[in-house]
Amino acid sequence: MHRNAREVELSLWNYFFENGSRRDVADALSWYQNEDGGFGYALDADNWNPDSNPYQTSMAIRILRNIGFTDMEHPVCQGIFRYLYSEKDLMDYGWRFCIPTNDNFPHAPWWQYDEERNLVESIGPTCDIATFILKYMDPGSELYRKTEKITNQLLTGFQDCENFGDMGIAGFMGMVETLKELKYGDYDYDAFWEKIKILVKNSIETDVSKWAYYGVRPSNYIIGPQSACYEDNKEIVEKELDYLEQTLPENGVWGITWTWFDNNEKYAKEFAISENWWKAAAAVDKLVLLKNFGRLETGQGR
């Protein structure tokens, strides 16, 4: 990690395994933040667009949420407020997943701008951003009012929705959990959880032999025994934990399970760099998972 990771992944490593601070993580995120407060610069290592965009901003929001960072006076959070209040790339359906200027920089194929695809793939980042706004931002603002409208559209359409995109289910999990705590609206959150549990169970790839390729593992949704979806998926979670222990290289970290496919040749050098960045990020996630389930020998790294 210390030889290969970027500062943001290293700060997360330090936080989870070497007594690092939450503020160090927030400070590291600021290097990917533009003056308008949005995020770019390959915070998501598959998209090298430096321009502020909703997905990479939602990624920063998730990182802060995952470490329990709640200091909204910190410059990185104030910047997020500023970006969101600008309403950049806010559409009637939510925040765009991919933006037009992605096409001008090295990127994986799924970051190619496609407004029709945005209608589905925007669900995940929109859930993350909307939840952040409803929890932390000014209830009297025009943005808050628009966010309420989008949130209500998402929640009222949830039961009938058939396509959530790659990140929509996880997005709804975070939204429903937080909005239930906030007592937001007159919604049957228990009914939401019933469907979420079904969606999670049905989307997990149970054929372990396919995990060497890009697929949905339990850890896409379940990061610890406290997860609402853990009890229904105990057996496959244990298989993933075993799999991680069995596939960890002796002198390295796990490889990633995807490439840039059609863009590999065009951006060969950039993908090689991106791959190394992702290995560090994935190592943190996987070791945190093992730690949360008591599979590490100590609370510190190894």
**d(Cα 34, Cα 52) in Å, to the nearest integer?**
6
pLDDT at 208 over 50: yes
For the chain, give the number of residues: 302
Q: Stretch 150-166: mean pLDDT, rounded? A: 96
Q: What's residue 157's pLDDT?
A: 97
Residue 38 has pLDDT above 90, yes or no: yes
Q: What is the pLDDT of residue 300?
A: 42
CB 91 within 8 A of CB 150: no
* CA–CA distance, 131 with 171 (Å, rounded to integer): 9
What would the pLDDT profile of 247-282 be if each residue is shown by its tens digit?
A: 999 989 999 999 999 999 999 999 999 999 999 999
Q: What is the pLDDT of residues 10-27, one digit of tens each?
A: 999 999 999 999 999 999
Could you give the count of Cα atoms lying within 13 Å of 285 in the half-sphere of its Cβ? Answer: 19
Q: Across residues 203-216, what is the average pLDDT?
A: 94
Q: pLDDT at position 124, please?
A: 98
Give the CATH number of domain 7-292; options: 3.30.750, 1.10.3470, 3.40.720, 1.50.10.
Answer: 1.50.10
Question: Given this model, what pLDDT does residue 298 score?
Answer: 57
Q: At what angle do helices 168-182 and 142-157 cross, to 10 degrees?
A: 120
Secondary structure tally for the chain: helices H, strands E:
11, 2
- List, for residues 64-102, the tens digit of each pLDDT value: 999 999 999 999 999 999 999 999 999 999 999 999 999
What percent of the chain stands above pLDDT 90? Answer: 96
Mean pLDDT of 92-113: 98
Looking at residue 12, its pLDDT comes to: 98
| Positive/negative CA dihedral, 66, 71, 74, 78 | positive
214 pLDDT tier (thresholds 50, 70, 90):
confident
- Which pLDDT belongs to residue 285? 98
Using pLDDT thresholds of 50, 70 and 90, give the confidence band for residue 210: very high
Query: What pLDDT sits at residue 302?
Result: 33
Q: Which two tokens stand for residue 160?
A: 């009938």
- Reported as a pLDDT band with limits 50, 70 and 90, residue 215 is confident
Name the pLDDT band for 246 (thresholds 50, 70, 90).
Answer: very high
